[in-house]
């Protein structure tokens, strides 16, 4: 038998289940580093996924607590999409991925872990970032510690709203 060493998982195993909505709780709290919150604005928040599919896996959600995409006000929709664009730009600049997966699961049966608060998943991808581990052992190896990724991304998100964003030209 082979062992996979992941000592940081003990924090998750021993923690009390969170009451209420994880996104609304993070909007209220001001413990951004502990909560892996990279950006909080008047209409949208960005945080890292504590259980990522890949390094730099982000969660982007509106401030408004709703699981109904069709009821999201136009201003919130616009802010959410603009933040998705900023997140792609920031990940491009800081992590240089070769592609992205972007998705939103609507409803429990669609795989939503938090069905009552809309949120996008943005996952950076690199050629060769998959290997035999998920297929054979049902294990995903994430090669960088969450704290290191947070420290890499936080300065870029801190600059949002202070400096006009530079857009990458289409090829």
Give residue 7's pLDDT.
64
> Could you say which DSSP state residue 135 is in?
I
Determine the Cα–Cα distance for residues 82 and 75; give it in Å rounded to an integer: 11
Rounded to an integer, the average pLDDT of 25-45 is 92
What are the start-end ranges of the H helices in the chain?
9-14, 22-28, 32-35, 74-95, 132, 146-158
How does pLDDT run across 109-130, given as a tens digit for each residue?
887 788 899 999 999 998 876 6
Give residue 82's pLDDT.
96
Rounded to an integer, the average pLDDT of 3-10 is 63
Tell me the whole-structure pTM to 2 decimals: 0.78
The CATH homologous superfamily for domain 32-157 is: HIT-like (3.30.428.10)
In the set 117, 119, 121, 145, the catalytic residue is 119
Rounded to an integer, the average pLDDT of 5-21 is 73
Give residue 135's pLDDT.
43
Domain spans of the chain?
A: 32-157
Whether 3 is catalytic: no
Determine the Cα–Cα distance for residues 72 and 60; give it in Å rounded to an integer: 14
* Residue 142 pLDDT class (50, 70, 90 cuts): low
Phi, psi of 58 (to 5 degrees): -110, 155
Rounded to an integer, the average pLDDT of 18-22 is 87
* Residue 3 pLDDT class (50, 70, 90 cuts): low
């Amino acid at each position: 038998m082979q062992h996979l060493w992941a000592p940081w998982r003990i924090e998750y195993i021993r923690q009390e289940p969170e009451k209420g909505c994880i996104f609304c709780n993070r909007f209220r709290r001001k413990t951004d580093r502990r909560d892996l919150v990279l950006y909080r604005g008047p209409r949208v928040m960005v945080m890292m996924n504590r259980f990522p599919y890949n390094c730099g896996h982000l969660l982007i959600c509106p401030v408004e607590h709703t699981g109904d995409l069709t009821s999201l006000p136009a201003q919130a929709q616009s802010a959410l999409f603009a933040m998705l664009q900023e997140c792609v730009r920031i990940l491009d600049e800081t992590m240089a991925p070769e592609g992205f997966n972007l998705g939103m699961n609507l409803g429990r049966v669609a795989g939503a872990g938090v069905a009552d608060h809309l949120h996008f998943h943005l996952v950076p991808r690199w050629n060769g970032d998959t290997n035999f581990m998920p297929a054979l052992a049902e294990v995903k190896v994430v090669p960088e510690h969450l704290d290191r990724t947070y420290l890499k991304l936080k300065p870029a998100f801190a600059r949002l709203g202070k400096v006009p964003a530079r857009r990458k030209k289409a090829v």
